[in-house]
Amino acid sequence: MKQTFSYCSKSALKDNMTELAIGIALVVVPIVYPFGIKIGATRILGPVPTAIILILVGLYMLFKVFNKYRQARALAAQNCSITVEDEKIIYPILKKGTATEGTFAKSDITGLNYDQDNGILTVALNNGETIKFDVDFFESLDRLKEFAELLKK
């Protein structure tokens, strides 16, 4: 039995709009309206340290969105997919903007873990390697769950 799953996001920017908006807000708001943090009458942080912290967090969030968008474009440019053939799984590996194929056997799997907060399915292999599949690159969460079920069989 051979089954193929599309592994290239068609809307990477749309999927990450919340993180993009929050990242921009965390950078812009402290610059336009600097504020400090107080608890009661005690000043915890002044405007400058607060602005620095918020801007760094905002830049980190923007970097994560940019990285995910760059990965999605690279996967989509090569029309990547995951193929499950009986005992063999063929999946794309993204390195420096190019996708190559990696393979592993179902018998090599020692554990599966799905992190609902981040939307990442982690496959642990018996050689110590871990492979991560991001829900954002699948067509839907149902397709990711279907893929995970095939790996369990």
pLDDT score recorded for residue 62: 93
The whole-number mean pLDDT for each consecutive block of 10 residues of the chain, a chain of 153 residues, reads 74 75 92 83 85 94 87 75 82 76 81 80 84 79 79 75
CA 132/CA 104 separation, integer angstroms? 13
Query: E-assigned strands of 7-151?
Result: 37-39, 42-45, 81-85, 88-95, 98-105, 109-115, 120-125, 130-134
pLDDT score recorded for residue 10: 66
pLDDT score recorded for residue 91: 81
